[in-house]
Amino acid sequence: MTTPVAYCPALFLTAPASNQGKTTITAALARYFTQQGKLVRVFKTGPDYLDPQILAQASQQPVEPLDIWMAGVEYCQDKLYQAAREADLILVEGAMGMFDGEPSSADLAARFGLPMVIVMDVKGMAQTAAAVVSGLANFRDDVEVSGFIANRCGSERHAQLIRDALPEGLPLLATLKRDEEVVLPERHLGLVQANEVRDELEVRFNSAVEWLNSSPDKGLLTLPKAVAFYPATSYSAATSEPITQSLAGKTIGIAKDAAFSFIYDANLVTLQSLGAKLVFFSPLKDHHLPDVDALWLPGGYPELYTQALSENTLMREAIRAFYQSGKSILAECGGMLYSLETLTDLEEKTYPMLGILTGQGAMRGKRGCQGMQTAVLPQGEIRAHAHHRSRSANTPTPVAYGRRQRHPAPGEAIYQTRGLTASYLHLFFPSNPEAIAQVFLGNRVSMDEAS
């Protein structure tokens, strides 16, 4: 039987470091080709909730994470294959620097044959930019680099110095001038959520398309070469049911509003594949819980809405009563902070929260914790990540700790009391759907069985 192959133009945008303009340029490209009538599917490397919101608005299509460690090779392969079957262009935005992390952006691109384009802020350098990019392009034989984007280029003379210094076979695809009108808005955890600045983003996207068109180098404005994408051999969400209906007949209430929005679409799909019905509610605006069997309090920005969350006493009482009934609650990061007795915000004002988990939470400026971890739950191991700039104190004895990807020190504490499972960790549900089902069902096994 012939293996069905899907061909689609694809480009992987990478950089020598963070803050080089990858997201801005990826969004600009997505909007440019969307305006040309193309269906553009964008993926974001690694764990990220904020960039995908921006990229989804720019492309007008859902944006999903691609991470070999967090999701697995088969999962990533299936997502790329399904996208290639419908899209006119696939864009993948890398994380951090090109070779940072295990696996890195370069590892992902090499695994799936994705040509890379290097984005670099060239302010303050000229020929040196060419040397850096050339070194990156030739660092590994299994990575294909198809060009260079010079961001924040000062003038045509500046561009020409870079252009002349680049080796043959490494073209300058775009020279983008410094333009604050296209820079995406940020705050302490990264980009501002798209739903907070939707109209502003539309203005910036339109400016970004003009920004691309203004480049003397036009290599980015034509579709890249097509890449062959193959279906995954053991996992295909489109053709099979890879997981059992463990949550059939169960309804899960999911907090979703400006304070709680760090939700992977892949997590929602996993819950639905398990048979669950999903209902959304707002801890900020609603006064009563929907009729549900379990709750999910995901991460977000509760620290920006401490007063409003605290003053919604009817919702706080409803969630406390739900907890007292012994029903299951999963609280992740911001959801865990909401679960504590108090939360001190960025202005050092302290407000009462749910009080279903003993302890106090407080923001701590620029210091924080981030990184990949495995949540070692009694229900099973689930791949996860941490990204926060807060601390908690006087919390109960943890039932377990996260296992860091590359460091022997214990990771984030994991708490379980009554039906509550709480941690700073953001869980990636597709990595172990059955364990997630057991969390929402409130079933626990011994740690020996889980391992």
Q: Which pLDDT does position 70 carry in this prediction? A: 92
SS (H, E, C) 115-149: CEEEEEECCCCCHHHHHHHHHHHCCCCCCCEEEEE
Q: What is the DSSP letter of 391?
A: E
Tell the residue number behind the tokens 């419908």, with chain if given.
Answer: 86
Q: Is 333 in the same domain as 223?
A: no
Largest CA distance in the chain: 70
d(CA 227, CA 423) in angstroms, rounded, equals 40
Task: Residue 398: give the domain boundaries.
Answer: 251-450
Instruction: Tell me how many degrees the CA angle 348-365-46 measures, rounded to the nearest 5.
Output: 135
d(CA 325, CA 309) in angstroms, rounded, equals 22
Q: Based on DSSP, count helices (H) and strands (E) in the chain, helices before strands.
A: 14, 26
pLDDT tens for the chain, 451 residues: list them: 456 899 999 999 999 999 899 999 999 999 999 999 999 999 999 888 888 889 999 999 999 999 999 999 999 999 999 999 999 999 999 999 999 988 999 999 999 999 999 999 999 999 999 999 999 999 999 999 999 999 999 899 999 999 999 999 999 999 988 866 667 665 444 555 656 666 788 888 888 899 999 999 999 999 999 999 999 875 544 444 456 899 999 999 999 999 999 999 999 999 999 999 999 999 999 999 999 999 999 999 999 999 999 999 999 999 999 999 999 999 999 999 999 999 999 899 999 999 999 999 999 766 556 789 999 999 999 999 998 788 999 999 999 999 998 888 889 999 999 999 999 999 999 999 999 999 999 886 543 343 3
Q: Could you give the angle at which helices 156-165 and 127-137 cross, rounded to 10 degrees?
A: 40
How many folded domains does the chain comprise?
A: 2
Q: Is 293 in the same domain as 351?
A: yes
Q: Which pLDDT does position 251 carry in this prediction? A: 98
Q: Which two tokens stand for residue 407?
A: 């460091």
For the chain, the residue count is: 451
Q: Residue 75: which of 84, 86, 64 has the closest Cα? A: 64
d(CA 101, CA 371) in angstroms, rounded, equals 10
Q: Is 71 in the same domain as 173?
A: yes
Instruction: Tell me how many degrees the CA angle 8-211-190 measures, rounded to the nearest 5.
Output: 80
Residues in contact with 180: Cβ distance below 8 Å, sequence separation at least 6, in sequence order: none
Residues in contact with 76: Cβ distance below 8 Å, sequence separation at least 6, in sequence order: 66, 67, 68, 108, 111, 112
* CATH code of the domain in which 370 resides: 3.40.50.880
346, 363 in Cβ contact below 8 A? yes
Q: Is 320 in the same domain as 290?
A: yes
Q: Which pLDDT does position 186 carry in this prediction? A: 54
d(CA 325, CA 151) in angstroms, rounded, equals 56
Q: Is 158 in the same domain as 255?
A: no
Q: Is 178 in the same domain as 305?
A: no
Kindly state whether residue 73 falls inside one of the protein's structural domains.
yes
Q: Is 298 in the same domain as 215?
A: no
Q: Is 186 in the same domain as 75?
A: yes
Q: Is 267 in the same domain as 325?
A: yes
288, 318 in Cβ contact below 8 A? yes
Pairing of strands 350-352, 260-262: unpaired
Pairing of strands 172-177, 145-153: parallel
Torsion of CA 193, 195, 200, 205, to 10 degrees: 80
Q: Which two tokens stand for residue 308?
A: 């409003």
Q: Is 359 in the same domain as 266?
A: yes
* Torsion-angle region of 226 (φ positive above 0: left; ψ -120 to 50: alpha; else: beta): beta
Instruction: For 177-189, give the DSSP string.
Output: E--TTSPPPEETT
Q: Which pLDDT does position 181 carry in this prediction? A: 63
d(CA 222, CA 218) in angstroms, rounded, equals 8
Q: Which pLDDT does position 446 carry in this prediction? A: 40
Domain boundary among 171, 197, 229: 229
Kindly state whether residue 420 falls inside one of the protein's structural domains.
yes
Residues assigned a catalytic role: 333
Phi/psi of residue 132, each to 5°?
-65, -45
Kindly state whether residue 440 falls inside one of the protein's structural domains.
yes
Q: Is 35 in the same domain as 112?
A: yes
